[in-house]
A and B are shown apart, each in its own frame.
Chain A
């Protein structure tokens, strides 16, 4: 049983660099979500996709952030010109349908550290 897969698990980079994370959802899950979690806090919603369409973006998603899901399968989250405040765990989740009662299944996350 393959769950949600995220790559890399850890990323350390210098301030100002660009970084890209990848998420592979559970097969045939058409909803894919990105969240950010900082230490001692719950995950905060960033954006989600229904198949390849990006349907909503949180106000947390500044212009330096961009997400794609080109073929409705895997997704990438890119952060340009990283800042210290971007240091966090970035979580990806997927769900089977767009019904609210379907649970979101989370990956292990990508921990980003900005030096």
Chain B
């Protein structure tokens, strides 16, 4: 069965510090997809990034970067020069594919509550 573990329940940093959110996953599939979502206090889940299991290149988007390491089954998320607006709960999620090539529902971790203090 698939599983996503976000061991950090809550992280608090001062604005402008860098912060890394950890995500470790378990799956028996060789083809799968990983996602990060942000849930601000308003509640709506906002899609940030996806990565497929065959693409281990790291990605950078502005202050955000993602480090995918298949060898350790990890997909970590770093925010550089954090800002107060980054305060939210961040979820890592996994999607496996079935034989037909489509995907089922996402399996989410429990989330990391990130608090950026001014």
Contacts and interface: CB of A to CB of B under 8 A. Distances in A.
Interface of A: 33, 35, 40-48, 50, 56, 58, 89, 91, 93, 98-109
B47 A103 contact: yes
B14 interface: no
Contacts of A45: 104-107
A58 B105 CA distance: 9
Contacts, number: 73
B102 A99 contact: yes
B104 A48 contact: yes
Of listed B93, B97, B103, B105, residue having the most chain A CB within 10 A? B105
Most buried by B among A89, A104, A108: A104
Interface of B: 4, 31-33, 35, 37, 42-47, 50, 52, 91, 93, 95-97, 100-111
Contacts of B32: 100
Nearest to A103: B47
A42 B111 contact: yes
A99 B104 CA distance: 9
Nearest to A6: B44
A105 B47 contact: yes
Contacts of A58: 105
A1 B89 CA distance: 25
Contact of B96 (A42, A100, A109): A100
